[in-house]
Amino acid sequence: LEPKPGRDYGGDEPTYVVPDVYIQKVGEDYVVTLNRDAVPRLRLAGYYQRVLNDVDVAPETREYLQERLRSARWLVKSIYQRQQTIFKVATSIVKFQRAFFDHGISLLRPLVLKDVAEDIGMHESTISRATANKYAHTPQGIYELKFFFTSGVKGASGEDVSAETVKEQIRGMVTAETPQNPLSDQAISEILRGRQINIARRTVAKYRQAMGIPPSANRKQIG
């Protein structure tokens, strides 16, 4: 007698993604803009400075307030620096992944933290921390910044192909396959080799599992 039978399923609260940075095409160039609304504007209350300027304030109170003000200024400065790091990383990603922004995931190129770190003159660990759970709004959709850092698969031409690009091709093949005769991992591997992407069957299986695609035996439909 449940009037809303779907109420017992999927009780988790939806997670909304707010982009930290916008990447938009203006003319022939891509412009990176920080989302100022994603981080609240912080400022120090003038009341505490007025208290410090009061000559009647006890020395221990003055010392305590000065220490707190230094900590507050450090916090505001750190947040500002983190925003600038995100901006620099996004700008560097645009430079490395221009083909992706123009044409989509099929042209995503392999990229590691070291490439961007060397490009903007920062340590890899700084890049890793700054991009954690940070998202970019792009012409191709909203992506986590870590999405653009992907390993490569050796192509027949000697040029590496992004693992995300390979996954997208596998997903496309599975979507287009005949349900009565699904493609095996070996068959997918051979098709990719025909597309100049050298990839072993076990690697295909690993990518397939990562995307939540069941093996061919479980995808097969009878009749």
First to last CA, the chain: 36
**pLDDT of res. 50:** 81
Long-range residue pairs from 42-48, CB within 8 A, at least 24 positions apart, any chain: 42/75, 42/76, 42/79, 43/76, 44/69, 44/72, 44/73, 44/76
Separation of alpha carbons 71 and 222, rounded Å:
67
Q: Record the tokens describing residue 21, joined without a space.
A: 């940075």
Could you tell me which of 16, 79, 6 has the C-alpha nearest to residue 42?
79
pLDDT at 61: 84
SS3 at position 42 = coil
- The residues facing 161 across adjacent strands are 153
Q: What is the DSSP letter of 135?
A: E
Q: What is the pLDDT of residue 89?
A: 94
pLDDT of residue 158: 60
Segments making up each domain of the chain, as ranges = 21-148, 152-219
**C-alpha angle with apex 107: 16 to 102, nearest 5 degrees?**
70
Considering the four listed CATH numbers 1.10.3720.10, 1.10.10.60, 1.20.58.760, 2.60.40.1930, the one that applies to the domain covering 152-219 is 1.10.10.60
pLDDT at residue 102, as a whole number: 92
pLDDT of residue 116: 93
Measured on CA atoms in the order 15, 21, 22, 25, is the torsion positive or negative?
A: negative
Q: What angle do CA 34, 121, 80 make, to 5 degrees?
A: 35
Per-residue pLDDT of the chain (223 residues; tens, 9 = 90+): 888 888 777 667 777 888 999 999 999 999 999 998 877 777 788 887 788 788 788 888 888 888 888 898 898 888 888 889 999 999 999 999 999 999 988 888 889 899 999 999 999 999 999 888 999 999 999 999 999 998 877 765 666 788 888 998 999 999 999 888 899 999 999 999 888 888 889 999 999 999 999 999 888 887 6
**Is 208:185 a contact under the CB 8 Å cutoff?**
yes
What is the model's pLDDT at position 121?
A: 93
Record the pTM.
0.72
Nearest to 183 by CA among 218, 223, 209, 222: 218
**Predicted pLDDT at 52:** 79
pLDDT at 7: 76
